[in-house]
Structures are given as C-alpha cells and as structure tokens.
Chain A
Amino acid sequence: MEERIRSLAEEALRYLGAARADRETHRMAEETAELLTKKLRPQYTWRAFRLQREAGGFLMLEAGIVLGGTLAERMLADCETAVLLTCTLGAAFDRMLQEWQARDMARAAVLDACGSAFTETGCDEAGQEIASRFAGQFLTDRFSPGYGDLPLTLQGEILRALDATRRLGVTANESCLLIPCKSVTAVIGLSDRMQPARIRGCGLCGMKENCKYRKKGETCGV
C-alpha cells in the first residue's frame, strides 16, 4: 500500500482518538483512505495580494479585506504580500458521507476523519505550489479564520476575494460554516526573511478548552 494512504489513515485515526485501535480498525481506515483517494482529490485555488499596513490591521489591496487582530499582526509582521487559499474536497464528499452514514456509521466516522486529513494534504500541496511560484521568498505558517483572534467572519470575505464559489463551489452560511463540509480557507504570508514556525502548540488553538488530547495530557501534534 502506498505510504500516502497509510499516513492518511493514521492521521484519520488520530483525529478520532483511535490511533491505538485494533488491526481490524486500522485496516478499515486504510481501505477507506484508499477508496477516498481513488474517488476524489482536494481542489484548491489561491491568489496573492499585496499587503498595506493600516490602523485596523493589514489591508489586502486587490481584495479589499482587512486582516486585523494579534494573530495576523504576529504572522504577517515581515510580509508585504500574502496569499489567500481555499481548498475543498467538494460536494461529492458530502454525498459520499451521507451514503456511508446510511450504510455503516462506523465507516462513515472514519471517512469523515479521512476527509479532514485529505483536505489538509490538499492545503499542503497548495503550499508547495505557492512556494515554487515565489522561489526565494519564505512562507509563514498557514493560518485560518477561527485560529486565535482571526474572526470566522473572514471565511465569506476570503471566498469572495478568490471567487471561490464560482471557482470551487465553496460557500459560507450565515454562521460562517463552509459548505461543502470538507473545505478550508487560509492565509499564508510571504516574506523576504526566514519565517519561524509560529503556529505550534495549543496557545492559538480555538479547541484548547475542550481538546480530548489535552485532557489526557497529550497534544494533537500540530
């Protein structure tokens, strides 16, 4: 089996808190990851925008979006350009998950987690593409609305700036939830200077109050 599928399955089980489950469960996760990767691929779109420092934060010039707050301040401190990114598994995943829930809830739970992990790999792929288009520049960590104090209301604005509803079929509802369900919006800063890894540990995580890993004294590894 491909390493890529195995690691997707491992990641999914980790999301489910089932990394130590029996062999049967691991096999189920691997089968699920394999089926998923055969059927779907993460799709993404990104665009670079110039940043202009303003009183309320960073204005992304061609998008008309302001990234305010302390997270953006820290992440983009050295940046004159930043990329907005949207990545999604698409509506086909939602349908697949719906059908699997009707067939087998255990597999559906695993598929759900595999979908999350797969979307992350799509973001990583986009990150590599961005890095190669901006050779010689340094990328900050990827960060998203909902991290730290970066508001979830940015989701809709990012979709608009990228025309992501037209380009990828991603929408946000009134509660700022993205549809299809496995969709991500993110910001990556670009700088002439080497960028340290800033998003590590639990400090910025919106889930820190309720994280099942933290409760056990572990971390999710991000």
Chain B
Amino acid sequence: MFKLPTLLDGAMGTMLQKSGMAPGTIPETLNLTDPEKVAAVHRAYIRAGSHAVYANTFGANALKLKQTGYTPAEVIAAGIRIARECAAETGAMVGLDVGPLGVMLEPLGSLPFEDAVRLYAEIMRAGAENGADLIAIETMSDLAETRAALIAAREETDLPVFVTMSFDTTGRTFTGCTPASMARTMEGLGATAVGVNCSLGPKEMIPIVREIAENTRLPVIAKPNAGLPDPVTGEYGVDAEGFAAAMQELAAAGAEILGGCCGTDPDYIRALGNGMTQWAGTAGQRRGSVRTGAVCTGPVCLETDRVRVIGERINPTGKKRLQQALLEEDLDYLVNLAIQQQDAGADLLDLNVGYPGVDEVQMLPRAVKAIQAAVDLPLQLDTTNPAALEAALRVYNGKAAVNSVNGKEESLATVLPLVKKYGAAVVGLTLDESGIPDTAEKRVKIAEKILKRAEAIGIPREDVWIDCLVLTVSAQQEQAAETLRAVRLVTEELGLKTVLGVSNISFGLPNRLLITQTFLAAALEAGLTMPIVNPNLPEVMNVIAARRVLDGTDEGCRAYVERYAGTEEKKTTPGAEMSLQDAIRKGLRKEAGRLTAGAIETRGEMEIVEQELIPALEKTGEEYEQGKVFLPQLLSAAQAAQAAFEEIRGSLVKKGEKGTERGTVIMATVQGDIHDIGKNIVITVLENYGYRVTDLGKDVPPETIVREAEEKSVRLVGLSALMTTTLPAMAETVRQLKALKTPPLVMVGGAVVTADYARSIGADFYAKDVRDAVKITNSVFS
C-alpha cells in the first residue's frame, strides 16, 4: 500500500516528444519498439524522487491501438515490465496508467456503457496480471466513462485505484461534471484516492482541489500541467521553481498526492520533492473534515443538509396515461414528466416504472438514460426488483438514491450490497417481517437495524435515509402523530436524514390539499429532510417555500420573494375567445390544450382531430411550402397541436378507447451519424398527423432497423444522414430492408442526400424537408 503524502512522477508524453519520438507516433507502442526511450523517462523520475511512476500505458486500449497491430495486453505487459525494472532501483511503486478511450459514450456519443466497461476490463486485467501496484485512471472528462473505468477496475482487481479528472477554468470538466460530483461518485464506487490532473496549471487548480477535498474522505491527488503551452513554440509557461511553489498552495487546499502532468519533467518533480517537508505538513489536514451527505449527477451535487423536494410523478400507480406510455415504451413522455417537475422546483426525482406488462429490468435503465440525457436532477431509483435496480444503478451517471430497503432480512441482504457496490444513498423503510410497527419507538428500532447493517458493509451513515412511513389519516388517525414522532426521533437520536411520502396522508378525504399542506408543515418541523411530493401542485411547494424562509436556508428570503413577486398583477387578460385552429397556427400550446379540453366536452375526439387539428396543421404546412411561414413556426404549430393531441389521448385513455393512430412509421439516423435534430423535427410533425413513430435514435446499425421493421411489419421507414461519410450506411440499410420478404417503403432525407442519390440506392422516396416527409407519409397511408 502507498504511504501519504505521496510524490508521483511528471509527464510522459511531452518527455517522449522531447526525446525525439516521431510526430504522429502512438506513444504506447514505444514500449515494444523503443523501450529504452521509455525507461529513460522512468529512471529520471525515480532519481528525482518519485514514490510511484505511471507506466507508459495511458492510451493502451483496444480502440486507440487498433491501427498499430498491437493488443492492449502486450503493450501493457511491456509497459509495466519497463517501469518495474526502473523502479527496482528505489522500490518505487508502478501504476497502470489508464486514460480515456478517445470516443464518446452515450448519450453524447454512441459507445454503450457496457462496451466501455468491457474495454476497460481488458486493460485492468492486463495491469493486474503483469504486477501493477496500483491503477491510475486519469485525464478523464466524462463522468460516465470514468465510472465505467472504475467499475472495471473494481470488478477485475483488488488494486488501489487513483481517479483523476481534468477540469477547465470554469471549474467543470468538458462534459460539465463538477469536482464535487466527481468526488462523491468515485468515492461511492470504491476509489482509493481522487483528484485532478492535466488541463490547468497549479494555481488554477486550487479551487478545484478545495472542492474535491470538501466532498470526500479520501486522499486528494493533484497533477497539474506546467501551465499552458504556447501555440507557436509549444513551450509550457510555468518553470520548475514556480511550479513547486504553487504546489504548496495546492497542498494547503487539501492535496496530499502530488505530481505533474503535461510539460513537467524530472526537474519539476525534484523541486516538488525538495519542498515536500513543507507541504507534507499541511497536506491531508483537511481530509474528512467536512461531511454532509449528497447525491449527484455530473452537473449537480445535491447535499442533503437542508430540505430537498423529491418529485413523485414518475410512478405509474393510479396514472393511466403513464401506464400507457410505459407499455408503449414512450420514453419521451417520462422525460417530459421529469422536466415538468424540474421546472416546478423538485430537487430530485423518484423514478418508478413498475407496472404489469413492463419489463423493469429493461425499462428502468432505459428510463434512467433517457431522463439523464435531458435533465440534470439526481434520481431516486424506486423498484422492488433487484435485477432492475442493479441494471439502473450501473448506468446511472452520478450517485443515485435507492428507494428502498426495509428491515426484512431478504431486503437487507439483496439491496444493501448493491447500494454499497454502486455507491448510492438508500431509503430505509421502517417496516419488517411483522409489518409496520404502530409506535414511533419500534420504527426507530428498525431504522437502527437498517443503519447498523448498512454501516457493517461500509455504507456511510449519511447515505442512509429513513422513511418513517405515512399512513392514511382517514383510516388510521392515531398514526399521523406516531409518524411525526418517529421523524423527530430518527432526526434527533440517530442523526439521520428522513424521507416521507407525504401525499398519502390525505387519501380519501375532501379538500385533500389542506391536510397534505398541514401535515407537510408539521413533518418539516419534526425534522423531515426530503418530502416526496407532487411538485406540480403550487400549494405544496408554497409550504416548502415558506419552510425555507423560516429555517433560514432561503437566505434573505430571496427565493420566496422571487416566487411571489408580481403574482398580484398576473391576471389572465380577457378578450375575444380564440379558435382552436388559430391557437395551433399561432403555436400557443397552453391555449390549444385548454381549448381542446373544452371542446371534448361537447364534441367527439375524432371529430376534433379531423375538423380542427389536421386542417390547422395542413394550412400551416401549405403556408410553409409557399414560403409564408418558416421552420420554427411550423414546429411551434406542431407542438401546439401536440398539446391538443395530448388532451385527446388522455380523454380516450380514460374512456378505455383506442387511440387515433393512422399508422406506424420507423425513423432512424443511420449508423455512424450522430446529428439527429433533423430526424427529430420530422418526428415531431409526423406525430401530430396522428402517426405513431418508433424512434430508433441516432447511429443505428442497419440490422437494428431491419429487425424492427420486420417485427413491427411497418409500411414506411424513414432514414436520415447528414454526412457524406455516412451515406454508405444509408445505402446498406436500404439494401437490407429491400431484401426482406415484404420490404417496407423507404423514405430518405438529410443534408447531403439528393433525389438522385435516393433513387440510386433504391429508396422509394426522397423527402427534401419536413413538409415533404408529411406528404409522403400521408400518401403511403391514405
């Protein structure tokens, strides 16, 4: 095991360049072609005093080495052997250096998370088999990729793992991850030390190191660049002495494993080592000093040190429209529920997709990915299915909350290990084999048991939240007071954060909101930290806003004042009633929805679709063709129509009637192509003509499109491509589709596609724009 404080080495890449490595060479191949060049760098660092050197394996992954003919295993074996031979001189440790794969993971790019884990697993195995003393995952900028690497390291080896990411001057990584989120997520997943490397010079790193130190119990690593390189000369701006001096400040900010990155050389490390007696004194003093619980996503680290609202809306129990969306795998509907709650002020979102006929193991991780692509709020994964929970925890990008474990032996034994492995927070329900106890004291006992079991496997106490359980007051009146008492006891005696599903309290009573509001206020007073509520109800959020004023977390009452400023004046302007068609053509979503809801009371749903929605869309479409309205307006109208359709669907679902669908169309952006807004625009409009669109997404392999077309036996497939380099994938997809026994019609479009090209690859239609796509679809289904 390594000792603290630790002196690491400096740059490898820039050193190899200086020693004459040919431009364009993949540096890791030198392990096999010119090992002496690599050994010289290691020896220089070891003689400069490094306690550990990183082997020349940064880019030794299957993707980057593909061109070279070498495998990661042989490059890594050679790299570690070279470092080991040099390290023998002083007994320095040898690190397996692991950098990014060089391609983007979903959702930004196309590499699936599990593929990344597999690629990293190959590297970690090779490192462990060849005797690395530790693993250094570094220069990462995507939290998802960093998670994949650390999960692979943990699953394949028992070695200590250092994890560092690169942050820019805005204090975030290139993908928007904060230092706090990085620290919380990586500590949860079992890193040995966390920190920052590359990208910045030592001075610019100070605030980042401080934020990391405040969010972890682990030792903090700092490996800055020697400033920034000059674009003309390639020289870095900070010299060895300046570097070593600035590093003292980084140590004071909390770093205790220090080294250098790009532009540093053995002189920098020697200077750093010379000052070590000074920095060793301050380093590590901050470790573990601040400790509040938190859950996070890359961009948002949410501490549980104050009242936080958990949105309850993504739960199909009693919600027909959501049940239908889940059965139809309509993830956009879930994303919209998430966005609504975010806008209404939720701090984290409960996510439950359990419903008969829904495969939770598939659906929960898909829902996590879809929501996380558009919404930054942390999620609380709500399921009783351990396989679904693990699948979702694996892909969840950040530190999740799990809802829930309870006092039953089976639950403790299955849920807690998953919470530990993926570093989540967990809600503990105060019930066990004998049900829900009727006194506060007995519920606290169960809470204690859950806490003890969690701590026994290494889940820190701040990550255990207790749900003292709300029972319906109209059925068990005396229990309301017991629940409140239990919340107070758990808060005061165990010092744990609490969660409550508040809305339950008022079930079955008239004027439910009044009971809910009053109970919520009382529970918050008793110490409740995280009410699970419907944030879309302003009355509920009013109580929260008031509470935040009274407990002082809304400093200067700013949020409260902002919430209510101007509400007096906000009156709807009365005026001439607008027609539904006008509302759609003007793109007024709320108005279109409201007018449709009104119209449903007197007219049939289908009549409204045929006499109002379609004619309004047609008129806008015609004006678009004539150049009187333009794409943004066309889309606004489509969305207003969507709001109207949503009312109609809701009404039909309530009556148990079949939908308004005119036919199913498959849409996809072809393999290799990741720009899909054009395809999404077409989908938005098609859906408003009553078509059901199966959106296969972007970068879709031909086989997936063919399989889907065959399974759903659709009549029309729409394909989009944006780049000349992806046109061959479009041609191949068309070829495979046309080879089916009953081939679908194919429409193609996208920036580089032409009518001639469409003909040449055997497509049936070329859609030059969104309006054209609608006309083609109408002609196919007429």
* Interface set of A (CB-CB < 8 Å, partner B): 13, 16-18, 20-22, 24-25, 28-29, 43, 45-48, 61-65, 83, 90-92, 94-95, 97-99, 101-110, 112, 133, 146, 152, 157, 160-161, 165-169, 171, 173-177, 179-181, 206-207, 209-210
Contact = CB atoms under 8 A, between A and B. Distances in A.
Given A102-B332, A176-B723, A90 B174 contact: yes
Contacts of B699: 173
B78 to A, nearest CB: 22
Contacts of A146: 724
Contacts of A16: 630-632
A20 B724 CA distance: 30
A25 B25 CA distance: 51
Contact of A180 (B108, B639, B729): B108
Please classify the interface of chain B as helix (H, G, I), strand (E, B), loop, or mixed, using the class held by over half of its residues: loop
Interface residues of B, number: 69
Contact of A179 (B104, B630, B631, B722): B104
B674 A177 contact: yes
A207 B752 contact: yes
Contacts of A169: 141, 173-175
Contacts of B336: 102
Nearest to A29: B632
A201 B722 CA distance: 22
Interface in B37-51: none
- Considering residues B104, B166, B234, B673, which has the most beta carbons from chain A within 10 angstroms of its beta carbon? B104
Contacts of B639: 104-106
15 contacts: A16-B632, A20-B627, A21-B630, A22-B629, A43-B168, A47-B232, A48-B232, A95-B373, A95-B374, A99-B339, A99-B375, A104-B639, A106-B635, A152-B725, A179-B674
A166 B199 contact: yes
Contacts of B110: 173
Top 6 closest pairs, chain A to chain B, by CB: A169-B174, A64-B24, A64-B23, A175-B672, A18-B630, A106-B635
Contacts of B22: 64
A64 B25 CA distance: 9
A125 to B, nearest CB: 14
A45 B630 CA distance: 36
B513 interface: no
B587 A106 contact: yes
Given A91-B108, A177-B673, A207-B752, A63 B24 contact: yes
B255 to A, nearest CB: 21
B419 to A, nearest CB: 28
B107 interface: yes
B140 to A, nearest CB: 10
A53 B138 CA distance: 38
A79 B355 CA distance: 67
B24 A91 contact: no
Interface of B: 22-25, 100, 102-104, 107-110, 139, 141-142, 166, 168, 173-176, 198-199, 229, 231-232, 234, 262, 299, 332, 335-336, 339, 373-376, 587, 627, 629-636, 638-639, 671-675, 677, 680-681, 684, 699, 722-726, 729, 751-754
A166 B59 CA distance: 12
A152 B631 CA distance: 29
A166 B724 CA distance: 27
Nearest to B336: A102
A210 B753 contact: yes
- Considering residues A133, A173, A180, A207, which has the most beta carbons from chain B within 10 angstroms of its beta carbon? A173
A171 B24 contact: no
B28 to A, nearest CB: 14
A22 B107 contact: no
A83 B234 CA distance: 13
A181 B675 contact: yes
Contact of B109 (A24, A65, A176, A179): A179
A175 B723 contact: yes
A146 B374 CA distance: 31
B674 A173 contact: yes
Given A46-B231, A62-B234, A105-B680, A179 B108 contact: yes
